[in-house]
A = this chain, B = another copy of it.
């Protein structure tokens, strides 16, 4: 099953140096989730051929414009393209009136605004394949990240055993759930002989925007991929603290202490045309770090 992240925008505040504003699409087995929606996000989707129509859940981290100003354009386009499926938007309180004042007509599909409590680590959404939790962050306005955790899938059948014991198709569902198989000659074949465990559930954590906060470590411990904001280099630590942002080094400390598998840095300040110093800085602490690169999917 696919578990793939496409970053549409990696810059903070304003677009610069060909980098765009915060937005990502996570594809978990053809369930598409949009995370933040900076100005021009629908253009980025067009550029990268993202299947915007397949998005049914949008998660907004906080109400700073560079994280949500692209939302109304996307909502309007859904209406114009005759969307009928409900759309669910999760965000801190305050988004609904901002959206509603901008439309003087019905959009033609239901929009559900789910107001979150950014101070809580709670389950926001789940379906058959994934659970999405909020991660409390510390920023200048109420803000949270998001943790996407794949559900453990049932074990896989071992093909050779199906042939060996001539297992009929209609028994497979039960065996995957844990049943043993009884052959025609009444032999009991144990479940564990017939199956192999599915691959470990994968996970992705999105942490932007936030000041350096070790409070998040329990929530993101061991995730396969952590996107953490790294607005500044560490020489601008004072600026980072003042604006409640994180340095590249601090993001790497979080990644290391949370023992994540991979770190992707993003939400870069417009002062940096070349990002390699941020990458180098983070790698001195946590080697398996990459820079957010817009439009190139990261397979988890």
- Residues of A bordering B, CB below 8 Å: 13-16, 18, 20-21, 38-43, 46-47, 63, 65-66, 69-70, 72-73, 76-77, 80-81, 97-98, 101-104, 141
Decide: A46 and B16 in contact? CB cutoff 8 A.
yes
Decide: A70 and B40 in contact? CB cutoff 8 A.
yes
With A46-B18, A80-B14 in contact, is A40–B98 under 8 Å at CB? no
The 6 closest A-B pairs by CB, nearest first: A40-B40, A39-B73, A14-B77, A40-B43, A65-B76, A69-B73
Q: How far is the CA of A16 from the CA of B40 in the complex (A)?
A: 13
The chain B residue with its CB closest to the CB of A9 is B43
With A20-B43, A39-B40, A70-B40 in contact, is A65–B14 under 8 Å at CB? no
A-B contact pairs, 6 of them (CB 8 A): A15-B46, A38-B73, A40-B42, A63-B104, A66-B76, A70-B73
Q: Report chain B residues within 8 Å CB of A101.
A: 97-98, 101
Q: How far is the CA of A20 from the CA of B44 in the complex (A)?
A: 10
Q: How far is the CA of A16 from the CA of B73 in the complex (A)?
A: 13
Q: Report chain B residues within 8 Å CB of A40.
A: 39-43, 70, 73
Q: How far is the CA of A13 from the CA of B80 in the complex (A)?
A: 7
A19 CB to nearest chain B CB (Å): 9
With A80-B14, A102-B98 in contact, is A21–B73 under 8 Å at CB? yes
Q: How far is the CA of A63 from the CA of B69 in the complex (A)?
A: 16
Decide: B14 and A69 in contact? CB cutoff 8 A.
no
Q: Report chain B residues within 8 Å CB of A76.
A: 13-14, 65-66, 69
Q: Report chain B residues within 8 Å CB of A38.
A: 73
Q: Report chain B residues within 8 Å CB of A42.
A: 14-15, 39-40
A170 CB to nearest chain B CB (Å): 46
Q: Which of B39, B46, B141 contacts A70 (CB 8 A)?
A: B39
Decide: B73 and A72 in contact? CB cutoff 8 A.
no
Q: How far is the CA of A69 from the CA of B99 in the complex (A)?
A: 11
Q: Report chain B residues within 8 Å CB of A102.
A: 65, 69, 98
The chain B residue with its CB closest to the CB of A70 is B39
Q: Pick the most buried of A16, A69, A77: most chain B CB atoms within 10 A of its CB.
A: A69
A166 CB to nearest chain B CB (Å): 53
Decide: A65 and B69 in contact? CB cutoff 8 A.
no
Q: How far is the CA of A101 from the CA of B103 in the complex (A)?
A: 14
Q: Report chain B residues within 8 Å CB of A97.
A: 101
Q: Which of B43, B65, B73, B98 contacts A65 (CB 8 A)?
A: B73
Q: How far is the CA of A54 from the CA of B63 in the complex (A)?
A: 28
Beyond A69-B73, A69-B76: 6 further Cβ-contacts under 8 Å? Answer: A13-B80, A20-B43, A39-B40, A40-B42, A40-B43, A65-B72
